[in-house]
Structure 1
C-alpha cells in the first residue's frame, strides 16, 4: 500500500519553499536524482530527474545500514536477539585463537552504534572495495568473517565512535543466522509486504550474503515509507509493525560523539542505531547524497537520491528552504508551479549534429579511469542513433546510444548484468561523445572518442565505491 498523495497547501506546506530548494540544488549542482517530501503522512512533492524514475531502484550505499538495523529491531522485538548478545557468540565456528584481543565483550548494541572499539573504519583490512578483486574463485569463495575478527579494536567497546563498515556487516550476518534468511528475505513478511514495498536487491559478499552496511537498492518511495514508519514510531497505517521501544532507542544518540575534526556539522551531533542526529530530527544516509530524513517536530519526512560529494550542502538546503516551508501558508498557484517544476526535471541527454563514420574503433586513452580491463571502444551508426562497444577482457560489450535521448541497454559480462541508459553522438567530424548511466545507481561515466588520435577517454563523473569497473555495480549475477 503506497503513501497517500495530497497537495502541499492541504498539508500546510508552502510549495514556494520546495521550489526554492529544487532551484538551489540545481544552481549548486547537487546532482539530485529524486526528491519526495511527506507531511502528515501524505506525499506533497515528488520528482525524478529523468531518466531516473519512480519505479527504478537506486543504490542506497550506507543508507543500507538503517535497513539492516531495522531487521535487527524486528528480531529483538521477537525475542530472538538481545542487544546485549556478544557478537562472537553468533560465530561459534570462528577459531578463538585467531580472534584479535578486544572482541570478547563487543555486543550487538556496539555494532549498531558504531562503538565497537576501533578508532577508524576497519573494512580496508577486510576487503579493498576499489580493487574489485579478492572474491576468490567460484569453487573457493573467500570468507571475510575471520578477517573481520582479526582486526584489533584498540579501545573498550562503547567508549569511542568510529564509522565502521565491519560493524554492520556482522549485524547482517547475525540476522541471516538467526532468521534463517538474509536481510531482504526476512524483511519481506515483516516490513516490505505490509508496506507494499518491492523486494530489495543487494550487493553481496563472496559467499552470497548481503553486505549489510551498503548495497541495498531502494525506490524513493521505499526510502520515504521507511522514514514514515520511524516518524510514526513503528506504526504503518494503523498497524504496529516495529516496536515503539525500538524506535525510541534507535533514534537517539548513543554514547560518544564523532571525534573526527573534519566532520561536518550534521555529522557531529551523535549517532543512534544506524541513524545520525542532526539540527532537525535524525536521518539515515548513504554516500553521494542518499538521504532518509525524519523531522518529528514538523511531522514530515524527506527522501533524496543523488550523485554528489557535498552532502552537507543538501542538508543545508533542507534547513534553509524546506523546514521553514513546514506549517507555512501555501497557495494553489504555488502548488501547481511546484508540480510543473517537478514534472520537468531531467538530466539532459547528450547529442551531436555530425553524421560520423559508419564504424570507428578507438584505443583506451591514458586519461581514462574506468577499470583497466576496458581497453578499446567502438562506435557503430544505427539509423539516427549509435551502438557503443566496450572491449573488456577481449569481449565486446555493446549498448545502444540515443542521439538526444536516453536509450536503455545492458552491460553483460563475467556473469553480471547491469542496466544502463546512454545518450550521445558525433559533435563534429572528429569527436564522438556519450554518457552512460548505471541507472540503478548514482553513477555515470563519459566517453570522448577522437578519430585523429584514434583514442578514447572513459571517465567516471564520480568513481563508485564498488570500484572502477561498472559491472561491480550489478546486483544481477549468473551465480544468483
Structure 2
C-alpha cells in the first residue's frame, strides 16, 4: 500500500495552512491520526501519541462504506436492484408478527436511511442481543408515512444490507472487500466484526488505519481504478456520493445530506463514524483524507474543508516556503494527546499508601476487580484482575508505555499507559489503541483508609454522568494493610 510522500509546497499547497488545520483539529476535537493525499500522493500524515499510524482502530459507521461498495458489486452484476422489495430477501428471518410497513421497504430505502425507523439500532443495541439479530430488527415498528420521504439513521439497515449482499453474492462483505479491494490495494488482512451467527455487522466494526482510510478515499476519487485495475465499478463510485436526502439540523455543516450509506455535501462527500472518524473525498480538488478520532463533536470534516481550500487557494510566500514546510514537519513529529495531570514520578507519604497492596474495587465501567500497584525503576507496574482475567501493564512517567494486553483479540489488543503523582493522588492516562477510547483515572486514599477512584473517558456510549466522571471505591485486603 506504499504511497509516495511529497512535500505540500512541491504541489503548490500552502504548508502554513496545513499546520493551522492540524492546530485547530487538535484544539477542537480529539483526533488520533490523519492521512491526507493530494493527487494520489501523501502530503501529510501523523498520529497523536499514544495512537499510531500502524495500529488499526475500530471504525464505527465509517464501516458502512464497505457495505455500500459491496452492494455496488451486486448491482453491477445484476444480482439485486435498488427497487427490489426488502421482504423478498429476508422472509426466512421474519418474526411471527411484524409491522406491515415492512412490505413497503426497498433496498433503496435501506441504502439511503429512509426506512421509517423509529429507533436507531446501533452497535450498542445489537450487542445486547445474543442471537437472531435480523429477526429482532425486523420486529421494530416503522413510521410508514416517512418511508422514502424522511431521513431516519439506523444501523439495522446496514446489517440487513450486509445479510442481503451475502445471500446474493455467496460471500460476505468482508470476503468480497478482501478479495476485490483490500488485497489488491496491499492492505493485508482486514478485520470486521460479526454477529453471533457470523454475519458481518455491515454498519460498524471494520478495523482500519488513517492511511488505509485515505487510500480508500483515493480509490473513490479515481473512480474505482487502482494501479490500472478497475476494483469498483466506475458508475457506482459516481453514485455513492450524490446527495439523496436532507439530514435534519445539518444544513449549516459541510455534510448536509445522506447519500448511498455515506454523507454528502456540495464540496465533499464522506463516510463518517461515531466519535469523529472520517473518510473524506473532495469534489473540486484531488484531495482524499482519512481520520481516526475519539471526539464528541463531529467537526473535523468542516475544519478540513476550510483549511484545504485555503491551502490550495492562498499561496505561501516563496521566501517563507521552506521554513513553513519545516514547521509542519516539526509539528507532525511531536503530536501527542494530554498526559496525566500530576507532576511527580515519586510517591510521598500520602500516595505511598497505594503501593504494594492488593486493592479490591467496587463496580466500575472497566470491570477492574483488583489491582496491585508497584514501582519498577521509573515505570509503574499494574497487576490487575479485569473481568476475571489477570493482566500486567506498565506505565511510563509522563510517557506512553504500550502494552500488548490481549495478544489474541484484535478488538482490544493494545493499551498505552502513562502515569504521574501529585501531593495527594495517582493519575493514570490510558489509550485503548484499537478503539476510539482514551481514559483518565485518579486514585487516592481518604482519611478512612478507603481508596477513592474516578474514571473519565474521552467518549462513551454509557449514559452520561456529571462532568463525564464515574466514581468508585476500593478497599485494601486485610492481609495487605501495613
Same fold? TM cut 0.5: yes
Q: Give the direction of change, closer, same or farther, for the CA distance of 1:272–1:409 in structure 2 (3 Å limit).
A: same
Secondary structure at 1:10's aligned position in 2?
A: helix
The residue that corresponds to 1:418 in the other structure is 412
Q: Give the direction of change, closer, same or farther, for the CA distance of 1:416–1:397 in structure 2 (3 Å limit).
A: farther
Distance in 2 of aligned mates of 1:50 and 1:189: 33
The residue that corresponds to 2:15 in the other structure is 15
**Aligned counterpart for 1:339 among listed residues 329, 341, 362:** 329
The residue that corresponds to 1:65 in the other structure is 64
Q: Which has the larger radius of gyration?
A: 2
The residue that corresponds to 2:390 in the other structure is 396
The residue that corresponds to 1:148 in the other structure is 137
Distance in 2 of aligned mates of 1:127 and 1:285: 17
Q: CA deviation at 1:315?
A: 2.9
1:36-83 CA-partner distances (Å, limit 9, x unpaired): 111111111111112222211112211011121112112222333322
Secondary structure at 2:397's aligned position in 1?
A: coil
The residue that corresponds to 1:354 in the other structure is 346
Q: Give the direction of change, closer, same or farther, for the CA distance of 1:115–1:458 in structure 2 (3 Å limit).
A: same
**Aligned counterpart for 1:123 among listed residues 116, 121, 124:** 121
The residue that corresponds to 2:202 in the other structure is 212
> Unpaired runs of 5+ in structure 1?
136-141, 469-480
Secondary structure at 1:128's aligned position in 2?
A: helix
Q: Give the direction of change, closer, same or farther, for the CA distance of 1:425–1:327 in structure 2 (3 Å limit).
A: closer
Distance in 2 of aligned mates of 1:230 and 1:457: 47
User: Which runs of structure 2 are paired with 1:158-177 in the superposition (5 Å)?
Assistant: 158-177=148-167
Distance in 2 of aligned mates of 1:151 and 1:187: 30
Q: Give the direction of change, closer, same or farther, for the CA distance of 1:121–1:324 in structure 2 (3 Å limit).
A: farther
Q: CA deviation at 1:329?
A: 2.8
- Asked if structure 2 preserves the Cα contact closer than 8 Å seen for 1:408 and 1:420, the reply is yes
CA root-mean-square deviation: 2.8
- Asked if structure 2 preserves the Cα contact closer than 8 Å seen for 1:56 and 1:219, the reply is yes
Give the structure-2-normalised TM-score: 0.85
Distance in 2 of aligned mates of 1:423 and 1:276: 35
The residue that corresponds to 1:471 in the other structure is none
The residue that corresponds to 2:4 in the other structure is 4
Distance in 1 of aligned mates of 2:411 and 2:220: 34
1:421-443 CA-partner distances (Å, limit 9, x unpaired): 33334514642221221101110
1:323-362 CA-partner distances (Å, limit 9, x unpaired): 2112543433322221221122122544742144651333
Q: Say whether 1:462 aligns with 2:458.
A: yes
The residue that corresponds to 2:100 in the other structure is 101
**Aligned counterpart for 2:179 among listed residues 157, 173, 189:** 189
The residue that corresponds to 1:446 in the other structure is 440
Give the structure-1-normalised TM-score: 0.85
Q: Give the direction of change, closer, same or farther, for the CA distance of 1:127–1:337 in structure 2 (3 Å limit).
A: closer
The residue that corresponds to 2:169 in the other structure is 179
The residue that corresponds to 2:222 in the other structure is 232
Q: CA deviation at 1:393?
A: 4.4
- Asked if structure 1 preserves the Cα contact closer than 8 Å seen for 2:280 and 2:289, the reply is yes
Q: Give the direction of change, closer, same or farther, for the CA distance of 1:430–1:380 in structure 2 (3 Å limit).
A: same
The residue that corresponds to 2:479 in the other structure is none
Q: CA deviation at 1:226?
A: 1.0
Q: CA deviation at 1:150?
A: 1.0
The residue that corresponds to 2:470 in the other structure is none
Distance in 2 of aligned mates of 1:318 and 1:283: 12
Q: CA deviation at 1:110?
A: 1.4
Q: Give the direction of change, closer, same or farther, for the CA distance of 1:121–1:320 in structure 2 (3 Å limit).
A: same
Q: Give the direction of change, closer, same or farther, for the CA distance of 1:364–1:458 in structure 2 (3 Å limit).
A: farther
The residue that corresponds to 2:304 in the other structure is 318
- Asked if structure 2 preserves the Cα contact closer than 8 Å seen for 1:267 and 1:276, the reply is no
> Unpaired runs of 5+ in structure 2?
465-482
Distance in 1 of aligned mates of 2:79 and 2:213: 26
Q: CA deviation at 1:179?
A: 3.0
Q: Give the direction of change, closer, same or farther, for the CA distance of 1:5–1:325 in structure 2 (3 Å limit).
A: same
Between Structure 1 and Structure 2, how many residues are aligned?
450
Secondary structure at 2:203's aligned position in 1?
A: coil
- Asked if structure 1 preserves the Cα contact closer than 8 Å seen for 2:209 and 2:292, the reply is no
Distance in 2 of aligned mates of 1:285 and 1:7: 27
Distance in 2 of aligned mates of 1:316 and 1:122: 25
- Asked if structure 1 preserves the Cα contact closer than 8 Å seen for 2:398 and 2:418, the reply is yes
- Asked if structure 2 preserves the Cα contact closer than 8 Å seen for 1:111 and 1:168, the reply is yes
- Asked if structure 1 preserves the Cα contact closer than 8 Å seen for 2:372 and 2:384, the reply is yes
